[in-house]
Amino acid sequence: MITYLEAIRAALWEEMKSDPSVFIMGEDIGAYGGAFKITEGFLAEFGEDRVIDTPISEAAIVGAAIGAAHMGLKPVCEMQFIDFIAPAFDIIVNFAAKVRYRTGVGAGLVIRGPCGAGGRAGPFHSQNVESYFANVPGLKMVAPATVADAKGLLKSAIRDPDPVLYFEHKFLYRRLKAELDETEDATPLGRARIHREGTDLSVVTYGASVHTADEAAERLAEEGVEVEIVDLRSLRPLDTEAIAATVRKTGRALVLHEAPGFGGFGGEISACVSEHAFEWLDAPVRRVAALDTPVPYSAPLEDAHLPSVADVVETAREQLAY
C-alpha cells in the first residue's frame, strides 16, 4: 500500500534508475528533500549532477531544462507550488511549446508541481493553473486522480519527447493510498478512464475532483441514480471520444473542476460535448466549479469557495429533473 505522494516518488526514482539521462532540478529538492519530501534521499542516491538545487528563479529552471533537453537529457523540473510557475510562463509558452514547430527539435522536459486547494494554504499556494496553458499548442498536460496514475502518468511524461505539465494535487498526497500492480508501467497520455460506471448522468472531471464526484455519486445512488464518472487524466491531448461516448450513453453531462468556472477548463469540455454529442443531450450541460474569487485562507471561506459534494448533488438533481 503506497500513497499518491509515494507513487510520484517511485516514478521519479525508477525512471532515474533505468535511464541515466533523467535528472531532477528545483528549489530545495536536494539536501532538504523537497517541500513535501518527495525527493528525500535522491541526492545521496543519484548525486549532485542529477539532483540539482536551483536558485529561486522558475524562469531559469525551465530555461536550463530546455537547454539540457536539447542536449539529449530528460529534465524534470519541480515548481515548489504550481502557483510559482507564473514567472516561467514566457519561457514555457513562447519557447518550450513552440520550439519543435520552429526548429524541428522538441524540448522533452517535465514541469511538475503541487496544485489545488483544501489545505488552508491561501491564495498563493492553492491555485489550479491548467486553463492558463490550455490554449497553447505544443504543450501536454496531465492531472492524475489516483495512485496508479500518479505513477503511470509521470512515467509517460518523462518519456515523452515534448514538454509536459504534470499537475499533482497536494490534497491527495497522503490521503490517497492504494496497492499498485507491479506489472503496470506507464499510463498512456491522452486516454481518459471510466472511474465509475453509470447510466443516468455523466460527470466529466479530473484530479482531486474525481473524488468529490465519487462521493456525490454515492449519495445519488441512494436515490436510485447511477452516475458515470469520467476521469480525463490527460487534459492535453484531450480524449474527446471518451467524453462523447459517455454523453451518448447517459444523455446528460455535468462538468466538474476545482478552478473557477469563468474561463476554466470546463468550458472546453462543455464545447466538446456540444460539438460531438449534442443530439444525445436530454438536458443542458452544466458546470460545477469554484467561485470567481482567489482561494481564501480562512477555512470556512475556502470550503465555501470550492465546489462541494452538495453542489454536485444539487446540480445533478436539476439535470435529472430537466
For residue 47, is it left (φ>0), alpha (ψ between -120 and 50) or beta? left
- Which of 125, 169, 211, 257 is catalytic? The answer is 125
Could you tell me the CA-to-CA distances from 232 to 40, 189, 193 in Å, in that order?
Answer: 30, 10, 6
280 vs 234: CA distance, rounded Å = 24
Q: How buried is residue 259: exposed, middle or buried, by Cβ count under 10 Å (0-12/13-18/19+)?
A: buried
263 vs 294: CA distance, rounded Å = 14
CB 64 within 8 A of CB 12: no
257 as an active site residue: the answer is: no
The dihedral built from the CA positions of residue 128, 133, 135 and 137, taken in this order, carries a sign that is negative
Q: Is 65 helix (H, G, I), strand (E, B) or coil?
A: helix
What string of DSSP letters covers 108-133? --EEEEEE--SSS--TTSS---HHHH
For residue 72, is it left (φ>0), alpha (ψ between -120 and 50) or beta? left
Residues known to be catalytic: 125
